Amino acid sequence: MREHETFCTPESKVLLQTNQLGDFTSLWELEAQWVEEPNVRRGGWSGVVRHTLQNSEGKEIEVFIKRQEGHISRTFAHPLRGILTLKKEFANIQRLIRYGVPTMEPLYFGYSGNKAILVTLGLSEHSSLDEIDPSAIPDSLRQKLICSIAHVVQHMHAQRLQHNCLYPKHIFVKQQKDDWDIRIIDLEKMKRTLQKRSAIQRDLSTLFRYADPRWTNSDRASFFQCYCDGNTSSPWSKKIWRFIAAESRVKRRRS
C-alpha cells in the first residue's frame, strides 16, 4: 500500500535514516519491547515501543514509536468509517504546539491504509505525576510544581481544548533548578468544546480524583487558586469548585 507521510522534519529524517528507519515499512517492522501490552479494541490494536537511536555524532536519543492497525475512532467529522486514532492524536499534538501548550515533540507521522505510526522524542528525564512523591519535595518547590501544572492546564482550557483523560500519568514533569518543565501527553481523546466550563469540570475532576492521596486537600486548593489566578471568590469559581469537589466524592465512593 502506498505510504502517506504527513510529517517528518528534515532533521528527523536524517536521524531516522542514520538508524535504518527512514521509511514506514522499516518503522513498522522494527522489533522492540512493548512499553506495555498492545491495547486491543476499537476494531484493531495499538501499542508503543521504546527505542534508542544514535545521531551522526554517536549520541543516544530515546524515542517512543506508537504503532496501530485498524484502531478506529468515530467522530462528528467521521461518523461512519471513523478515523485512525493516531491521526487524531497527531493532529492534537500539532494543535497544542500551535497554541504553545507543552507536549510531546513529534519526529515522524505516517500511515498506510489502516496502519499508522507516530514517533515522538522520549521523555526519559521527565517523570509522570503519579510517580512523584510530593512529601519529598520542599514546600516552595512543591508549590511551584502545583502552579506550573495549573497554568499549563489553564492555558489548554483557554483554547477550549478538553483533554478528556487527564490522569496524573498523562502529565510529565521535570525539575529545572527552581522551576519545572511540564508536558501533557496521550492526546487521542482530546477534543474542542463549545464551552470552556465543560473542559474544566471534566479534566479537573478527573485529575483530582486520580491524584495520589499524598497530594492533600490543601494542594488541591492551591492548584485551583493558581488555575484561577487567585480569583477563587467569584461566583463562577465557587460553582466550578463545588462541582469538582462533589464529582470527586461521588466517583471515589463508586470506585
Concatenating the DSSP letter of every residue in 190-206 gives -EE-S-HHHHHHHHHHH
Concatenating the DSSP letter of every residue in 7-47 gives EE-HHHHHHHHHTT--SHHHHHH----BSS--EEETTEEEE
Q: In which residue are the cell numbers 510531546 written? A: 104
CA distance 210 to 107: 31
Q: What is the CATH number of domain 4-121?
A: 3.30.200.20
In the chain, where the domains are located? 4-121, 127-254
Class of the CATH-defined domain 127-254: mainly alpha
Residue 1 has pLDDT above 50, yes or no: no
CA distance 129 to 152: 14
CB 122 within 8 A of CB 50: yes
Q: What percent of the chain has pLDDT over 70?
A: 91
Q: What is the pLDDT of residues 136-193, one digit of tens each?
A: 999 999 999 999 999 999 999 999 999 999 999 999 999 998 899 999 999 999 999 9
Facing residues of 119 across strands?
65, 108
Quote the pLDDT of residue 6.
79
Of 21, 23, 18, 19, nearest to 1 by C-alpha is 23
CA distance 71 to 245: 35
CA distance 138 to 206: 26
Quote the pLDDT of residue 126.
96
Fold agreement (4-121, 127-254): no
Sorting pLDDT into bands at 50, 70 and 90, what band is 71? confident
Q: Average the pLDDT over 11-16 and give the result.
A: 95
Q: Average the pLDDT over 76-104 and give the result.
A: 86
